[in-house]
Amino acid sequence: MKRSLSTVILLCAAVFAFSCKTNEVHEYVKVDQLYLNFLADGNDAQEIKVTASSDYTVDVDASWVKIDTQTPGIVKVSVENYDGQEERTTRISLTAGGATAYVHVVQLAPDGADYRFRNLMGFSGASISVGGKYAACYDGEESAEAGEMVYNVYLIDLATDKWTTLGTFPESQYFMTSVQTVSDDGKVFVVCDQGTLMVDIDGNHGLVSGVPAGFNTAASPAVSQISADSKIMVGWGNYENGDYRPIKWVDGVPEAMPLPEYNFRKEPVGNVMARGISANGEIIYGTTWDNRDYGMIYWDKNDDVKYVGEDVRKEEIVQMDKGNGLEDYMLVNGVISWSGNFQISPNGKWICGTYRTEKKESDTSISETNQPCFFNTETETTYIFDGDGSGMAATDDGIGFIGTPSFSTSSCTVVDIENQTELGSLTEWVQEKYGITIPGGYMLCMCTNPDVFMGIQLIAPSGLPYDLHYYVAPSI
């Protein structure tokens, strides 16, 4: 499979089929990809492989897209050079009888004088190294030779935009679901049904193993994040009682991490997971995970474990009916987190979360409100912002990124945390700081190199929401 930056062919995780029935005649059009991705200029033509029930027609919704050739089963597409300020999109329609398939075409805006923007449309679970050296992603394609889905894992050098295929793996070997993280020395960690797969820059690969005493040695532990020097990894494994327990690997040696004294509601501790880590490996954060009680915790430089936001935590005992009549139940206003692994500034000063407040509405009903918040690990002070949202990421100097809304996040507000002032939308902030226009979305990770970051844009080109990862890096 050929892959270059000027012709990034986006392969889908399956062969997509679009079909309908009219008068008992089965009509269909099948295409091998749903997206074509072009740079502003210097592009080669890209191919769409087509299978249809009858002769098909090809229509384009925009004049800047050209159909170079159309032969049975192959459509070659090219685009005009572009000098606009924002990426442009359109679609190609392929129709056979009453069946139509659509292929979306994206052309990026020209690189800025100092920075460039790249999207990773069509790839699954992209991630970026905390130092900003690499990005990683994967895709999949049906292989007639293998007789099953085959996954390709890619490493992108952010200094050169060079793509390297680290490995190709059949679905029966590793059923991949997302790229969890990537290190600055080129190790990619992929979540799969069998556990956590590690693939390195030399193509070596295997499931992560090694757990502390008392853990289930038969199951591959989960690696969530890795320090900038790759010496410390954090994640979790299955403890002997069936609960998840946090693990820290130092130079490959697993250590069981200390547990909080109690869970989010001051009950016996259940599941606990380490999620993210500062670039130097000194500050680690994680979550408890008891049904909906995902309290946010952190381990300081001395490995002492605490709840994030203890300075703003409030508790109230109320009577609730949980199915066995009225009984005591603790309402908690406190800092929670979902499963993000970049919710910490590179130096570990800021942890980003969500301040959830709870209110009893009836004996069986509790209302919840989510507000974005940021926690200073040095002063143990929590800064809470108004409105529905979540703290997503932060810079070392206290610039915070708020994802809104808190569920199905699609946009981002930039704030000065300590002054609690808004600095505009993510698009406005990037335009002012980097001199380029991005399509929006929210911040995923600010790297130790402040010239590099990764964001996510929520799009729905085929009706279903899709997380489009993108990165910004210095121009080549």
3-state secondary structure the chain: CCCECCEEEECCCCCEEEEEEECCEEEEEEECCCEEEECCCCCCCEEEEEEECCCCEEEECCCCEEEEEEECCEEEEEECCCCCCCCEEEEEEEEECCEEEEEEEEECCCCCCCEEEEECCCCEEEEECCCCCEEEEEEEEEECCCCEEEEEEEEEECCCCEEEEEEEEECCCCCEEEEEEECCCCCEEEEECCEEEEECCCCCEEECCCCCCCECCCCCCEEEEECCCCCEEEEEEEECCCCEEEEEEECCEEEECCCCCCCCCCCCCCCEEEEEECCCCCCEEEEECECCECEEEEECCCCCEEECCCCCCEEEEEEEECCCCEEEEEEEEEEECCCCCCCECCCCCEEEEEEEEEEEEECCEEEEEEEEEEEECCCCEEEECCCCCEEEEECCCCEEEEEECCCCCCEEEEEECCCCEEEEEHHHHHHHHHCCCCCCCEEEEECCCCCCEEEEEEECCCCCCEEEEEEEEECC
Q: Does a structural domain hold residue 445?
A: no
Q: Is the pLDDT of residue 151 over 60?
A: yes
The rounded mean pLDDT for the chain is 90
Whether pTM exceeds 0.85: yes
Give the pLDDT confidence of 53-112 residue by residue, as tens digits. 999 999 999 999 999 877 788 999 999 999 988 889 899 999 999 999 889 898 998 998
Instruction: Identify whether residues 169 and 58 lie together within a single domain.
Output: no
Give the pLDDT confidence of 282-297 residue by residue, as tens digits. 999 999 998 778 999 9
Find where tokens 């590690």 sit.
198
Neighbours of 328 (CB within 10 A): 8
Instruction: Identify whether residues 228 and 364 lie together within a single domain.
Output: yes
- Residue 4: the pLDDT is 33
CA pseudo-torsion sign 238, 270, 256, 352: positive
**Average pLDDT value for residue range 365-373:** 97
Closest among 367, 413, 368 to 390, alpha carbons compared = 413
Q: Does a structural domain hold residue 460?
A: no
Tell me the β-bridge partners of 367.
Answer: 359
**Average pLDDT value for residue range 306-312:** 98
pLDDT class of 1 with cuts at 50, 70, 90 = very low
**Average pLDDT value for residue range 130-158:** 89
Dig out the tokens for 148 from the structure.
Answer: 């099953």
Rounded Cα distance, 450 and 279, in Å? 13
Q: Is the pLDDT of residue 328 over 90?
A: yes
**Average pLDDT value for residue range 424-432:** 96
pLDDT class of 11 with cuts at 50, 70, 90 = very low
Q: Does a structural domain hold residue 408?
A: yes
Instruction: Identify whether residues 67 and 185 lie together within a single domain.
Output: no
Q: Compute the C-alpha angle 263/396/334, nearest 5°.
A: 25
Final residue belonging to a domain, choices 91, 107, 123 = 107
The number of distinct structural domains making up the chain is 3
- Residue 26: the pLDDT is 80
**Average pLDDT value for residue range 367-375:** 97
Instruction: Identify whether residues 124 and 155 lie together within a single domain.
Output: yes
Rounded Cα distance, 58 and 100, in Å? 10
Instruction: Identify whether residues 335 and 255 lie together within a single domain.
Output: yes
Final residue belonging to a domain, choices 58, 85, 107 = 107
Query: What CATH code is carried by the domain that includes residue 99?
Result: 2.60.40.10
Q: Is the pLDDT of residue 22 over 60?
A: no
- Residue 25: the pLDDT is 55
Share of the chain above pLDDT 90, in %: 77
CA atoms within 13 A on the CB side of 18: 18
Q: Does a structural domain hold residue 452?
A: no
Q: Compute the C-alpha angle 426/432/438, nearest 5°.
A: 45
Q: Does a structural domain hold residue 332?
A: yes
Mean pLDDT lowest for which of 425-429, 457-461, 462-466? 462-466
- Residue 6: the pLDDT is 32
Instruction: Identify whether residues 237 and 366 lie together within a single domain.
Output: yes
Instruction: Identify whether residues 175 and 221 lie together within a single domain.
Output: no
Please, which residues have CB within 8 angstroms of residue 63's CB and are 6 or more apart in sequence? none
Instruction: Identify whether residues 294 and 409 lie together within a single domain.
Output: yes
Instruction: Identify whether residues 29 and 103 lie together within a single domain.
Output: yes
**Average pLDDT value for residue range 290-314:** 94
Rounded Cα distance, 412 and 390, in Å? 10
Give the pLDDT confidence of 205-244 residue by residue, as tens digits. 999 999 999 999 988 999 999 999 999 999 999 999 999 9
Q: Does a structural domain hold residue 454?
A: no
**Average pLDDT value for residue range 427-453:** 95
- Residue 12: the pLDDT is 35
For residues 129 and 115, the answer to whether their CB atoms sit within 8 Å is no
Instruction: Identify whether residues 232 and 361 lie together within a single domain.
Output: yes
Instruction: Identify whether residues 281 and 350 lie together within a single domain.
Output: yes
Q: Is the pLDDT of residue 367 over 60?
A: yes
Q: Is the pLDDT of residue 173 over 50?
A: yes
Q: Does a structural domain hold residue 464?
A: no
**Average pLDDT value for residue range 429-439:** 94
Query: What CATH code is carried by the domain that includes residue 400?
Result: 2.120.10
Q: Is the pLDDT of residue 461 over 90?
A: no
Find how far residue 300's CA is from the centre of its chain.
25
Closest among 437, 395, 439, 431 to 416, alpha carbons compared = 395
Rounded Cα distance, 332 and 264, in Å? 8
pLDDT class of 441 with cuts at 50, 70, 90 = very high
pLDDT class of 23 with cuts at 50, 70, 90 = very low
CA pseudo-torsion sign 156, 162, 167, 172: positive
Q: Does a structural domain hold residue 456?
A: no
Final residue belonging to a domain, choices 63, 90, 107 = 107
Residue range of the domain that includes 78: 8-107
Instruction: Identify whether residues 318 and 334 lie together within a single domain.
Output: yes
